[in-house]
Structure 1
Amino acid sequence: MTETFLPRKLPRYECLEQRSRRYPDLDAGAVEATLVLMRVSSDILEAYAAHLARNGTSQGRFSIMIVLDLHTDHVLLPSDLACQIGISRATVTGLLDGLEKDGFVERRQHPEDRRALTVHLTSAGLAFLEAILPDHYRRIAALMSGLDVEERRQLVGLLTKVAAKVDAIRLEFPAQPKVENLAL
C-alpha cells in the first residue's frame, strides 16, 4: 500500500485562508476538502489492509478474487484483471502465482486462443470469500452507519464528480519560472 504522509491533524480552514493571501491560487475550501478526503481515504485503506491481513490476505489478492467472483460468466485473462483493478500485468502475475499456490485460483488454457491463459476462482477461493465477506460487509455497513440512505447517495454523487476531475492533478500545467538562488 502507498503511504500518504498526511498529518493526522489537518490545518483548519482559517489557517488555509491565511495562506491564500500568500498563494493566490490557494482555494481554502478546495484544499480543506481535498485534505479531508485524502486523510479519510488513507485511514479507510489502512483499516481495510489490516482487516484483510488478519484474514491472511492482501488488498491485491482480495481484489483479484472479488473480480473473479463478480465475473463468473466471463472469461478473464490476467490482462483483464490488471485493467479492472488498475495494477500492472507484472503485479497481477505475482498475485496470481501466490493465489494459485494457495489453491484459490487456477489458470487454464483459453478455449479459443492456445497462447492465452484464463483465470478462474477455485472452490477453495470461493469458500475463502464466503468465509470473510459477511464480516467484511458488516464493517462497511458500520463505516457508513452515520449516514442515512440519501446522504450516502449524495456522497457517491459528490465523490463521482471529484473522481471525474482527478486528471487535473495529473495534467501538466504551463511551466512555472524556475526560482534560483532563493534569498533566505
Structure 2
Amino acid sequence: MDAHPGEHDRSGYWFADSDTDASSVEVLNLLRRYREAETAMRARVREDMGMGERDILALRFLLEARATGTVLRQKDIADKLDITTASASNLIDRLVRDGYAQRTPHPADRRSVAVEATDDGDREVRETLRRMHDRMYAATTAMDAQERAVVAVFLRRMIASVSTDDHAGDDGHTDHE
C-alpha cells in the first residue's frame, strides 16, 4: 500500500506503515515517539521542580545566558517567550521568590536591571536533569562518528522542515498578521 500524507492507519501517523527496514515511515514514527517521550519527561521535570512550562523555559534562557556570559533583562525574557513585560515581571518574581533567579544592577546600563540564574537554581536544574542527560550522552557517544554525522544531518533537515511557515506570504509575513 502506498503511503500518502493525510492517510491514517494503525501507525497513528500521517503515513501508512511499510514492511521495509528503517523505512521513512518508521523513522517518522520513531521521531514522533521521541517527541512524546520528551514531552512526558518535561512534564515530570516541571512537576519535580514545581514550575510551569514558561518558568522552565525562562530558567533555561537564564542558564544559557549565564554559561555564555550574556546579560539578560526582563524585556529579553519577555521577547524570548513572546509574552508581555508584565507577564515576564510576574514570571521573574516567581523565579526570584523560589530562589532560581535574582535581579541585579545591569553591568553596562545603570538604569537597567539584569536578571540572572542563581547558583542554587543552576544546581537544582543540573541535579534534576543529570541522570537523563547522562543517558542521552551515553546513547550519543555509543554511536561512531559516521552515525552521529548521519543523525546530525537528519536532525538539521527536520528542523528546517518544521521551521518553515507554510502560512507565510511572499513577504515573509503570515497571512493573518
User: Unmatched 5+ residue regions in structure 2?
Assistant: 1-7, 170-177
Asked if 1:68 is matched to 2:70, the reply is no
**Alignment partner of 1:10 out of 5, 8, 12:** 12
Change (3 A) 1:82 1:124: same
What SS is found at the alignment partner of 1:148?
coil
User: What does residue 137 of structure 1 align with?
Assistant: 133
User: What does residue 41 of structure 1 align with?
Assistant: 35
What SS is found at the alignment partner of 1:119?
strand
TM-fit CA distance, 1:155: 1.9
C-alpha separation between the residues in 2 aligned to 1:120 and 1:7?
Answer: 48
Is the CA contact (8 Å cut-off) linking 2:11 and 2:17 kept in structure 1? no
Amino acid at match of 2:82: S
The alignment's C-alpha RMSD in Å is 3.8
User: Unmatched 5+ residue regions in structure 1?
Assistant: 1-5, 17-28, 174-184
**Alignment partner of 2:47 out of 44, 49, 53:** 53
Is the CA contact (8 Å cut-off) linking 2:11 and 2:29 kept in structure 1? no
Asked if 1:80 is matched to 2:89, the reply is no
% identity of equivalent residues: 22
Name the TM-score, length of structure 1 as normaliser: 0.60
TM-fit CA distance, 1:99: 0.8
Amino acid at match of 1:107: R
TM-fit CA distance, 1:112: 4.0
Amino acid at match of 2:143: D
What SS is found at the alignment partner of 2:47?
helix
User: What does residue 172 of structure 2 align with?
Assistant: none
TM-fit CA distance, 1:102: 0.5
User: What does residue 106 of structure 2 align with?
Assistant: 110
User: Rg bigger for which structure?
Assistant: 1
Report how many aligned residue pairs link the two structures: 154
Residue deviations 1:67-104 (CA, integer Å, cap 9, x gap)? 32332222112333345xx5223354443221111121
C-alpha separation between the residues in 1 aligned to 2:143 and 2:109?
Answer: 49
What SS is found at the alignment partner of 2:116?
strand
What SS is found at the alignment partner of 2:153?
helix
